[in-house]
Amino acid sequence: MAQTANVRPGGIKAKHQRLVLLAVALAVLVGAALLAAWALRNQASYFYVPAEIVAKPPEPGRAVRLGGMVAQGSLKTEADGVTIAFVVEDGKARVPVRFKGIVPSLFVEGSGVVAEGHLDSGGTFQADNLLAKHDENYVPREMKDMSREQAEQVMRETK
């Protein structure tokens, strides 16, 4: 210890060390930011309404979310008792959805839903998760906007 104490660590000059450290730290952080931006473009999951997903479908398998109304009379439970199939509509288009799992308690025909999942090659939306209205105060964000802009229109057009 007594020997090393007198040696200039690494032989780097004082001012240079500070600069090198700063440069390396900045390079890593900028690299991280660039990587993050690139990954976000590829991995962010976009929100679609049925009209959009029919007109311009995302590539099969890509994670997206689909929001709309559960069509009246479309909800069916399959023989295993846990898989359901229903249709999400927005008055302009209809998209078939399959979901295996326990549905939220306020999930009923004629109410709004946001499904997280992906489109399969057959045009059916395979949902991994369903978000329904919890109660008056806690509504998925997209549905809040939808109930204002689209839901009323949806209801008018479907009547």
Partner 1 sequence: MIAELGLAALWMAAALAGLQLLAGILALTGRGASLGGIVRPVAAVQGVLALIAFLCLIAVFATTDLSVKLVAMNSHSLKPLIFKVAGTWGNHEGSMLLWVMVMSLAGGFVALVERRLPEPTMLATLAGQAFVSLGFYAFLLIASNPFDRLSPVPEEGNGLNPLLQDLGLAFHPPTLYLGYVGLSVAFSFAIGALVTRQVGPAFARAMRPWVLGAWIFLTLGITAGSYWAYYELGWGGWWFWDPVENASLMPWLAATALLHSVSVLASRDALRAWTVMLGVVAFSMSMIGTFLVRSGILTSVHAFAVDPQRGSFILALLAINIGGALTLFALRAGTVTEGERFALVSREGALVFNNVMLSAILGIVLFGTLYPLVAETMGAKVSVGPPYFNPMGALFAVPMLVILAVGPMLRWRRDSFARVGRSLVIPAMLVAAGIIAMVVVGGVGLLPTLGFALALGLGWASVLPLKGRNLRRTPLPIWGMVLAHFGIAVSLFGMSCESAFSVEKLVAVKAGDATAVGPWQIKLDAVEPMAGPNWTALEARLLVRYGDYGKVTQLDPQSRSFWAPPQQTSESALLTRWNGQLYAVLGGEADDGRWQLRLWWKPFVPLIWLGGVLIALGGLLALLGRVASDLRRIFAREKIAYRRGRMADLQRAQEGEEP
Round to whole Å and give the CA distance between 113 and 140.
Answer: 9
Q: How far is the CB of 159 from partner 1 (least distance, A)?
A: 27
Query: Residue 68 or residue 140: which is nearer to partner 1 going by CB?
Result: 140
- Stretch 103-122: interaction string toward partner 1, x if CB under 8 A: x-xx----------------
**Which of the ranges 90-98, 100-108, 118-126, 148-156 carries the binding residues for partner 1, by CB under 8 A?**
100-108
Binding residues for partner 1, rule CB under 8 A, total: 51
Round to whole Å and give the CA distance between 27 and 39.
Answer: 18
Residue 133 burial (CB count, 10 A): 21
Tell me the CB-side half-sphere exposure of residue 63, using CA atoms within 13 A. 9
Residue 13 sits at φ, ψ, to 5 deg, of -70, 155
**Which of the ranges 30-38, 88-96, 118-126, 151-159 carries the binding residues for partner 1, by CB under 8 A?**
30-38
Residue 77 burial (CB count, 10 A): 12
Round to whole Å and give the CA distance between 62 and 45.
Answer: 8
AA letter at 85: A
Query: Residue 8 or residue 159: which is nearer to partner 1 going by CB?
Result: 8
Query: What are the residues binding partner 1 (CB under 8 A)?
Result: 4-5, 7-10, 12, 14-15, 17-18, 21, 24-25, 28-29, 31-33, 35-37, 39-40, 43-47, 63, 65, 77, 80-82, 100-103, 105-106, 134-142, 144
